[in-house]
Each structure stands twice: as C-alpha cells, then as structure tokens.
Copies of this chain bind each other. A is one copy, B any other.
C-alpha cells in the first residue's frame, strides 16, 4: 500500500500512528460508558485549565493567517478566545450526557433451529478526520469518536496547526490521567499533505475517513482514498413554492432558509416557483429578499415579477443553478409544474436538503417521494438540517452520500454492527 510521492519516513510515521491508534481502539471498544464519560469530563476540565496555552498557540496561527492574507471570515473561524474555549469545554460535557450507542441491540431473533442471533452496535475502530481551519472541530471530532468507542486520527488545516497541536496535546494529556490510552487521539498535522495522503491509503488500519470542508477537499479525499469514506457537506439546497402554497408562509421559509446564516451548507441557494404561485408570492418574496441584502439571479419569468416589485436582479445562468453560493445570493426560477421543479432539483441539487411549500397533500407526497436528497421538507426551512436540531445530540458532519449514513451524522453513524450468534453445539446440515 504505497502512496505515490510520499517520503518513506512520512509513510512509516503515519503507519506507526495508525497502528497505535488501532491498539488504542481495542481498549476503547470494550470500555464501559462510565470510563469513557469520565475521560470526557477530564478532557473538558483540561481544556479549561489549558486556556492560556491554547490561546497563545492560536495567536501564532492568527498572526500567520493575517500575514498570509486570510480574510476576516476565515480569521474568525480560526480564532479561539477564553469564551470560545469555555463553550467548547461545555459542548464536551454535553456529549457526556448523550447515550452510548455501543452495545445497542439493533436486531435479534431466535432461529427455528434454536440459534440466538443478536446484531449489536460496535465502534468502527479507527476514524480519520480531515478538515479545514476550524480548531473547534479538533475537539468535536475527538470527543465524538471517543464517546462512540473509536480512536481518532486527526488532520486539521495547516492554518490552524499551532492551535491543533496544542489542543491535541491537552486532550492526550487528559487521557493520560484517565483509564483510556492517550493514543485514542492523535494528530498527523506535522506530516502535512503527504501525511494526509498516507492516511487516505492506510487500508486495514483506518476503518472510516470523514472529510469535512469545501468541495475541493472532499474531492481530493474521495479520489485518493482506499479506506471507506463518508462525504459530507456540499449543500446546493432548493426551496420550491407550489401552486397551493400559503404565500406569507412561503416568504418566511425562503427568507429563513436563505438569510439565517448564508455560509452554512443547509442554506437555500435556489428558489423555484410554480407559475400559478408567481403573482401572489414572488414579488413579495423578491422584495423581502432584496431588503434582506440578497442579490437575485433570475430567469426571464422571475425577472418580470422582480420588475413589478421594483427589485434589481441579473439573469440566471446554468452557473447559478449549479452554484452553492454560501453568500447572500439566490438563484430564482419559475416552473410550469411540480414535476418540472423535481427535474430541476434532480439535475442541479447536491442531494443535501430541499423543501416544498404547499397546502396540497398530493403535492407534498409527490415531492417527498420523488426528490432524492438526504432531507426533504414540507412547509419548513432547510435550516433545520443539523444533528442538534434533529435531536441526535451532536453532529460529526452532514452526509450527502447514500452509503451508511445520510443527512446529519451523530454518534450512531460512527458505529458499525457485529452479529453475535449463540448455539448449543449447532452445526449446519
């Protein structure tokens, strides 16, 4: 399993780290909930006790980021201060309160021949995470992995390397004071991109790799990995306003889905409107969106409605239908039917979240049956696609693939299952 263009020393180092993680994962797999929760509480306390050290390391990253011309948004994501570290410690304590998915009996039966079958939830083993410059993800990923009985091997963005290094040292130090091995949490940041490439190729040592970040990162991981991957994130989300929609309700849903937070994957990027809903809904909607600061890219029929509402727009192109803006911009189109809306979504959606606004039961049924996305809403904002909102308690990412996990991924999605079969000397005829 040699990776191209990777120095032997790097390959050796990553192999060593993953092997230690694998050893640690065996202790984690059979650790009781109370042992894991005690370790998590120790981690929360250690983060608070080490606030000054983490803030100092983060200041290095911030200074390097400013010098390198990182924009204000990225610098804000990178920043850790006393309050943010306290919030992170608090979120660790919330994970303590979540049920342990390990050991849950998913299915079970006694076969006619008397064999007793149980399908039991077990940890994945070693979970790799590759993510971008948000140091809070380092803690999130490590504690969710640990709670679900997995060892974590972390690769954060180079912009946050000092912060991540400090945090991982704190986390490992906390484990040293617990009944779990420190190797349950490791970082490979010191080995840069070649190290990440080795992680993607550590077949037999890494059971699951979760990339979290932009489309480019995810693409790289999918293309290069020979370990199983769960894709997360890209959200080109649609709101469709049906002929029968309540216009005022539909306006509040598209406003919320578009403007609540524009930089997140569950934000709406395209509004589709049934032609029979245009008059009652679209001018008011475009006016409200414009007043909320949203730039509008519209097809020809939507342009007419915009003119009536005296709202400035520019023409939508295929690029607009394809784009996840993550910005205060929205593509708007008029369709002749629900089926045309479904066809548009099939062509352009990334399969994350889509919503229909309708009062018609058959329309709701047809839309939810035909739209093949992780989450399909009826009369609700796409902004709800979130592990916390869904009551999953925590979120490791939002899967846009169909294998293993789809939609918000909580602790359960970090587990596999094992069949345990008990007999009395059973042999198969």
Q: Which residues from chain A sit less than 8 Å from chain B, CB to CB?
A: 26, 29-30, 109, 111, 115, 117, 119, 122, 124-125, 203, 207-208, 222-223, 226, 228-230, 246, 249, 252-253, 255-257, 260, 346, 364, 368-370, 372-381, 383-384, 389-391, 401-404, 406-407, 416-428
The complex places the Cα of A370 from the Cα of B123 at a distance, in Å, of 12
B29 touches A427 (CB 8 A): no
A402 touching B372, Cβ below 8 Å:
no
Q: What residues on B are CB-neighbors of A401 within 8 Å?
A: 228
Q: Which residues of the partner chain B approach A253 to less than 8 Å between Cβ atoms?
A: 425-427
Contacts of A381 in B (CB 8 A): 426-428
Task: Name 23 A/B residue pairs within 8 A (Cβ), A-sorted.
Answer: A26-B346, A30-B370, A115-B380, A203-B222, A207-B402, A223-B226, A228-B229, A228-B401, A228-B402, A252-B427, A257-B427, A364-B422, A376-B420, A376-B421, A379-B425, A380-B421, A380-B422, A380-B427, A381-B426, A381-B428, A404-B404, A406-B417, A407-B417
Q: Do A428 and B111 touch across chains, with their CB atoms under 8 A apart?
A: no
Q: Please name all residues of chain B whose beta carbon is closer than 8 Å to the beta carbon of A373 when the two chains form the complex.
A: 418
> Which residues of B have CB within 8 Å of A370?
26, 29-30
Q: Is the CB of B389 within 8 A of A428?
A: yes
Given contacts A29-B372, A109-B391, contact A426 B117 (CB under 8 A): no
A374-B418, A377-B422 given. 13 additional CB < 8 A pairs? A30-B370, A117-B390, A117-B391, A124-B402, A207-B403, A228-B229, A228-B402, A246-B425, A256-B427, A377-B421, A378-B422, A380-B421, A406-B416
How many copies of this chain sit in the oligomeric assembly?
2
The 3 lowest CB-CB distance pairs between A and B, nearest first, are A380-B423, A256-B427, A402-B416
By a CB distance below 8 angstroms, the chain B residues around A389 are 111, 428
Minimum distance in angstroms from A335 CB to a CB of chain B: 18
A403-B416, A404-B404 given; A377·B427 CB < 8 A: no
Say whether B260 contacts A376, CB under 8 Å: no
Cα-based distance from A426 to B381 in the complex (angstroms):
6
B111, B208, B379, B420: the one within 8 Å of A368 (CB) = B420
Report A285 CB to chain B, min CB distance, Å: 14
Given contacts A383-B428, A389-B428, A402-B125, whether A374 and B419 have CB atoms under 8 Å apart is: yes
Write the chain B residue with the least CB distance to A208: B403
B residues within 8 A CB of A384?
Answer: 115, 421, 426, 428
A176→B426 CA distance, assembly (Å): 46
Closest to A424 in B: B379
Contacts of A109 in B (CB 8 A): 391
Q: How far, in whole Å, are A427 and B288 apart by their CA atoms in the complex?
A: 15
Note all chain B residues with C-beta closer than 8 A to A230.
403
| Residues on the B chain within 8 Å of A115, using CB | 380, 384
Q: CA of A419 to CA of B413 in the docked complex: distance in angstroms?
A: 15
Q: Please give the distance in Å from A266's CB to the nearest CB on chain B.
A: 9
A51 to chain B, nearest CB (A): 30
Nearest-neighbor residue (CB-CB) of A357 within chain B: B425
A67 → chain B, closest Cβ, in Å? 37
Chain B residues whose C-beta falls within 8 Å of the C-beta of A252 in the assembled complex: 425, 427
Residue pair A403, B404 in contact (C-beta under 8 Å): yes
Give complex CA distance A375, B115 in Å: 13
